[in-house]
């Protein structure tokens, strides 16, 4: 199938450097075991899960370190064979806001270093940190262990602050400084798109030679076109309904309000559509959306469209795929997206997308082929784009699947393994591994002491 690559044989070498045997993955603020679509769980969680599984399939063990949010969580969970999730005690057993987590980084870092100290030196070959909080931990572990740090930002404070949604609070200065430090220290920076790579260089003075573009993937076996009528029965919408779908966390950044306002505009222009229109909002409040958890429902009331809007809790992948198949259009009106996995998942199911022309979405959506990109966030423009997609749905649906097939998690993992191997080789060429340094020091001491 297009976009797929065969798994690289275990033990294949990258030049003279062997592939890593064990990767320490850092995901401080959210666990790969959490359900995406609520709290702090989203595309980052999907990324860590899918890449970790494929690394394990290549014979590369992965240990994911994440903060424990409940005393009932087991210290260690095997996600799949070869992938271990370690719940680190750092701060109270509760969900802390991101602004509270920097105070827990010392405790988290100490636990990560303590785990490595239980093993022989060189237990981990590479660190991969996700989000700036994890990058702060990875920076310290990198220097202690003498292994390279590969960092994925996922979102960038300076970029978010430049495109704030109305009523959204700017990212704090502490985060900006923390990101600048991680960018300066990481051996490799992984950008989802060429635009994100340019942002890292322009806004954070990243070294272009250490900044690599590695697009995320999509599970092309799980997210597939299917029986649309059956999908509609499964999610509870009529066969003749016009279904507009939003999937994601309910917060100003993701802009679900733009979809509701566009739906109201469609009804104002065509009142007879009310008997058929269904707006499905799949997700739950998170981040800044927690300050006003009922804001979206209140907006639907004020717009007079409560009868066509249905809120759906976050869905497991199989059920989420049914929602994509049931929809006429998936709408992704975010103010910023480093990539936009939702757009890719929808297209893999054959559902065209209307999306904001921001961040990574121009890469995730092929404008005019798999959907329509909208500059700005004017609801009238989104209403017009939805009409256009509905009119051309059959053609765009075929283009959506073709476009999604350009991306796969296997390809993403191949590129990451290459990045790991190159970073390992570069570090070994400059600095001897910790074990060799210790042995060299012992030999020097012994020689000096015998004189």
Mean pLDDT of 20-28: 96
Pairing verdict, β 309-312 and 211-213: unpaired
The set of residues, in sequence order, having a beta carbon less than 8 Å from that of 324 and lying 6+ positions away, is 223, 245, 247, 330, 345, 346, 348, 349, 351
Sign of CA dihedral 386, 285, 174, 188: negative
Tell me which H or E stretch contains 443: helix 434-450
**Residue 254 annotated as part of some ligand binding site:** yes
Ranked by mean pLDDT, which of 24-33, 358-367, 425-434 comes out on top? 358-367
**Residue 328 annotated as part of some ligand binding site:** no
* pLDDT, tens digit (0-9, with 9 covering 90-100), for 370-399: 999 999 999 999 999 999 999 999 999 999
CA 156 centroid distance within chain = 13
Q: Closest Cα to residue 411, out of 54, 100, 130, 153?
A: 54
* pLDDT, tens digit (0-9, with 9 covering 90-100), for 87-137: 998 878 776 677 778 888 999 999 999 999 999 989 999 999 999 999 999
**Residue 42 annotated as part of some ligand binding site:** yes
CB atoms within 10 A of CB 101: 19
**Residue 315 annotated as part of some ligand binding site:** yes
| Alpha helices per DSSP H over 205-355 | 228-235, 256-269, 295-303, 317-326, 341-348
**Residue 323 annotated as part of some ligand binding site:** no
**Residue 337 annotated as part of some ligand binding site:** yes
**Residue 5 annotated as part of some ligand binding site:** no
**Residue 232 annotated as part of some ligand binding site:** no
**Residue 131 annotated as part of some ligand binding site:** yes
Structural domain boundaries of the chain? 22-217+415-430, 228-405
Task: Report the pLDDT value the prediction gives residue 240, as an integer from 0 to 100.
Answer: 96
**Residue 40 annotated as part of some ligand binding site:** yes
**Residue 158 annotated as part of some ligand binding site:** no
* pLDDT, tens digit (0-9, with 9 covering 90-100), for 226-236: 999 999 999 99
**Would you state the structure tokens that stand for residue 312, as one six-digit string?**
């759906």
Do 228-405 and 22-217+415-430 fall under one CATH topology? yes
Assigned CATH topology for domain 22-217+415-430: Rossmann fold (3.40.50)
**Residue 155 annotated as part of some ligand binding site:** yes
**Residue 234 annotated as part of some ligand binding site:** no
**Residue 327 annotated as part of some ligand binding site:** yes
How far apart are the C-alpha atoms of 69 and 205, rounded to whole Å?
35
Domain 228-405 in this protein, CATH class? alpha beta
**Residue 325 annotated as part of some ligand binding site:** yes
**Residue 249 annotated as part of some ligand binding site:** yes
């Amino acid at each position: 199938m297009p976009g797929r690559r065969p798994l690289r044989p275990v033990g294949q070498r990258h030049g003279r450097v062997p592939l890593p045997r064990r990767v320490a993955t850092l995901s401080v603020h959210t666990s790969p075991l959490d359900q995406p679509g609520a709290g702090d769980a989203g595309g980052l969680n999907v990324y860590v899960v899918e890449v970790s599984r494929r690394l394990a399939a290549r014979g590369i063990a992965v240990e994911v370190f994440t903060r424990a949010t409940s005393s009932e969580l087991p210290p260690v969970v095997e996600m799949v064979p070869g992938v271990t999730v370690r719940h680190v005690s750092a701060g109270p057993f509760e969900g802390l806001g991101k602004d509270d987590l920097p105070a827990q980084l010392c405790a988290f870092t100490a636990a990560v270093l303590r785990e490595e100290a239980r093993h022989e030196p060189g237990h981990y070959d590479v660190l991969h940190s996700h989000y700036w909080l994890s990058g702060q931990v990875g920076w310290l572990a990198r220097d202690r262990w003498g292994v390279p740090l590969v960092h994925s930002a996922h979102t960038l404070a300076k970029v978010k602050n430049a495109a704030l949604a109305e009523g959204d609070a700017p990212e704090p200065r502490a985060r900006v400084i923390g990101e600048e430090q991680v960018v300066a220290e990481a051996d490799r920076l992984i950008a989802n798109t060429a635009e994100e790579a340019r942002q890292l260089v322009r806004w954070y003075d990243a070294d272009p030679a250490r900044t690599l573009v590695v697009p995320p993937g999509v599970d092309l076996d799980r997210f597939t076109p299917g029986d649309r009528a059956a999908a509609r029965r499964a999610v509870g919408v009529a066969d003749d309904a016009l279904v507009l779908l939003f999937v994601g966390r309910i917060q100003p950044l993701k802009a679900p309000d733009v979809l509701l306002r566009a739906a109201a505009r469609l009804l104002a222009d065509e009142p007879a559509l009310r008997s058929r229109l269904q707006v499905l909002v799949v997700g739950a409040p998170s981040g800044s959306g927690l300050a006003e958890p009922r804001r979206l429902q209140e907006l639907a009331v004020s717009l007079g469209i409560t009868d066509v809007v249905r809120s759906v809790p976050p869905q497991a992948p199989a059920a989420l795929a049914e929602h994509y198949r049931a929809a006429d259009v998936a709408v992704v009106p975010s103010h910023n997206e480093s990539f936009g996995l939702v757009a890719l998942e929808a297209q893999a199911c054959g559902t065209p997308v209307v999306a904001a022309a921001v961040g990574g979405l121009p890469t995730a959506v092929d404008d005019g082929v798999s959907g329509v990109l909208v500059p700005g966030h004017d609801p009238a423009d989104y209403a017009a784009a939805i009409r256009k997609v509905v009119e051309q749905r059959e053609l765009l649906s075929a283009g959506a699947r073709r476009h999604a097939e350009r991306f796969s998690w296997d390809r993403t993992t191949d590129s990451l393994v290459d990045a790991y191997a190159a970073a390992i080789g570069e570090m070994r060429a400059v600095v001897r591994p910790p074990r060799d340094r210790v042995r060299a020091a012992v030999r020097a001491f012994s020689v000096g002491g015998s004189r």
